[in-house]
């Protein structure tokens, strides 16, 4: 997969993708990430990429010309089928969207700055908008790195064992289950007996139940399409919680 990032700060992207799994994926040719400086496509000697908004108001707006020129410069290397603006008004990034993006052969990520981009860029040039949350950043570079990291993990061969991806939070719609490792006892805190029992079916059932419990407590909105097996576990959890409350009241 190839990901082109259009930005005013290419060094932020280049530094972010050199390490860990992303760096490995790039070295092995699984992923290609290229950062293009939008300023290189400015038409004046001052490398101007922004201007005051029509109608007045605070701040500056990124201009059409350099952004369009930067995108068009990629035609020989990118299909330009997905040109994604990182924007607070975009579709919220979640695992479903990540899986959708991971199936593409390439994409362009546009990182806005200042008060955003000229509406003609958003409305005519970009095919998608993505938000990573309801908060304000100084620019889209951090959001772009989040998209690259999330999508990169989904590419075959990036994570050594696919099971590590398949058990991630949100992969199947739930939060992840709790994990433990050595030592078996730390400052009086032990490990659930089932995890050291060697009973694989019991372990899988416990993990699924804990994932459901975490999701109920922290993100109940994710429990949309529960399987029959999950529904049975949810009944157990509800019964256990009712019993726990009765014991606390006594």
Please indicate whether residue 168 is annotated as part of the active site. Answer: yes
Catalytic residue at 124?
Answer: no
Q: Are 75 and 69 in contact (CB under 8 A)?
A: no
> Choosing from 168, 172, 205, 219, which is the catalytic residue?
168
88 in catalytic set? yes
Residue 177 carries which DSSP code? P
Q: Encoding tokens for residue 137?
A: 């950043």
Residue 64 Cα distances to 43, 49, 118, 122, 128, angstroms = 11, 8, 6, 10, 17
128 counts as catalytic: no
Q: How far apart are CA 75 and CA 108, in angstroms?
A: 11
Structure tokens at 217: 């407590």
**Catalytic residue among 88, 94, 149, 172, which?**
88
Class of residue 141 by CB neighbours under 10 A (exposed 0-12, middle 13-18, buried 19+): buried
Q: Which of the following is catalytic: 82, 113, 153, 213?
A: 153
106 Rama class: left (phi>0) / alpha (psi -120 to 50) / beta: beta
Query: Which amino acids are annotated catalytic?
Result: 88, 115, 153, 168
């Amino acid at each position: 997969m190839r990901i082109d990032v259009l930005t005013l700060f290419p060094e932020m992207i280049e530094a972010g993708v050199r390490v860990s799994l992303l760096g490995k994926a790039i070295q092995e040719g699984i992923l290609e990430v290229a950062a293009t400086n939008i300023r290189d496509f400015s038409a004046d000697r001052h490398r101007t990429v922004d201007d005051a908004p029509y109608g007045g108001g605070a701040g500056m707006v990124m201009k059409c010309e350099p952004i369009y020129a930067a995108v068009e410069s990629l035609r020989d290397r990118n299909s330009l089928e997905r040109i994604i603006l990182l924007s607070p008004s975009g579709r919220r990034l979640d695992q479903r969207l990540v899986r959708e993006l991971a199936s593409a052969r390439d994409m362009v990520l546009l990182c806005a700055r200042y008060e955003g981009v000229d509406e003609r860029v958003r409305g005519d040039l970009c095919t998608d908008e993505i938000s990573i949350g309801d908060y304000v950043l100084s620019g889209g570079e951090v959001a772009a790195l989040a998209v690259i990291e999330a999508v990169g993990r989904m590419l075959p061969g990036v994570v050594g064992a696919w099971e590590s991806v398949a058990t991630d939070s949100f992969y199947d719609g739930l939060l992840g289950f709790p994990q433990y490792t050595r030592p078996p006892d730390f400052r009086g805190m032990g490990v659930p007996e089932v995890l050291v029992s060697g009973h694989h079916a019991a372990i899988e059932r416990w993990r699924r139940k804990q994932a459901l419990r975490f999701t109920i407590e922290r993100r109940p909105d994710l429990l949309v399409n529960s399987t029959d097996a999950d529904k049975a576990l949810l009944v157990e959890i509800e019964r256990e919680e009712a019993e726990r409350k009765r014991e606390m009241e006594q």
